[in-house]
Amino acid sequence: MIEASSSQFHNAVAQLRVLNPGVELNVEGLDEEKEVCGGQIVTPSDEEN
């Protein structure tokens, strides 16, 4: 299941690059295990899992 999620994540990133060819997509810190909270990319707390 993790492998499928990772593949879907990388596919989504690839699609964003195709849809935005003139934009330099910053993927530093991008991780399928993280989430956006308060405008920042963070590791979810154990309480949410």
Q: What is the mean pLDDT of residues 19-40?
A: 89
d(CA 12, CA 17): 9
* pLDDT value at 3 more than 80: no
d(CA 21, CA 23): 6
d(CA 32, CA 2): 10
Query: Residue 1: what pLDDT?
Result: 61
Q: What's the pTM value of the predicted model, to 2 decimals?
A: 0.61
